[in-house]
Structure 1
């Protein structure tokens, strides 16, 4: 499932549904494959429809990047956004090949971002990732506009959409796409099934409260 389709699904089930739903999100990381490496020119980098956010433009801009295998293309998005502060969230611990690829392809990004702004998360523990990212967004929200750029594992994209849905006026979610990943491609699952449960009733009540 692409990030755009994941965003549409989150909106349909958690924002637009007229009945209360308990949703279980499940995900299995893909087995490492060189085809996962992003190639080709960037087709677009902009806000995901439905997750644009409408913060005060006078505030400084903070960008939180979910680090993936996109490499220097991530720097292109940051050049467009020109953030006052950049934070990175790197997946780790699931597969050594992924870990090595992340470090190698994002060497320039890590040089750009101060070590105090570099965080990691465990792919196999999406709930802890949600709590960590959510608490940081709450901390930043009183002082800055926030853009989440969820590259890397789709679980980080899900966390970003859930947080942005909760704080729709304070947080926007951006996307990056290269022509090599525009067409969906079958991946071989690595085996472990990860999951997270959400409630549409809770999401609507929080979302409506944030607009008051």
Structure 2
């Protein structure tokens, strides 16, 4: 085969396989100091951008716990979300992921407790558009956000109970852009876990 043909073949293969393999970057929180804990309105730099701890919004208002020690995002040596130890444990807060640049998708291992009656308030927010709901995060599966704006994104959630006697529902939560890109994704719930956050540029 001629050298020109080899170069053409290599270029074609790079177009097919290269960007997909190189575009996704994941972060598993293992670089953070053990037992790290943060309160509301704290920014935590990570390799792929920034994690911001925001208030949990309930009925349109920032939730304020009677005991401030119960509102936190904390590194914990567990794997309830299904990733590798450690993982992030959120209590009565929201977690905003702000990639260092606009991305096509944000995906994460995720677990939360919707409550015994399945009615605990939760929300997901993409590029500033917020969707409130009660109970399981699987309720956002297939939801398109950004209607009437210059961007569109679709949420996908695949969650299952962590065990027969567990109140945790774990799985994968993802948001993928169909137009315009993603600047930030926020999740809020009374109790949740997050690990293995991946972004695709």
TM-score bin, normalised by smaller chain: under 0.3
Higher CA-based Rg: 2
| Length-normalised TM-score, structure 2 | 0.28
Per residue, is there more helix in 1 or in 2?
1
* Larger RCO (alpha carbons 8 Å, 6+ apart): 1
| Length-normalised TM-score, structure 1 | 0.27
Per residue, is there more strand in 1 or in 2?
2
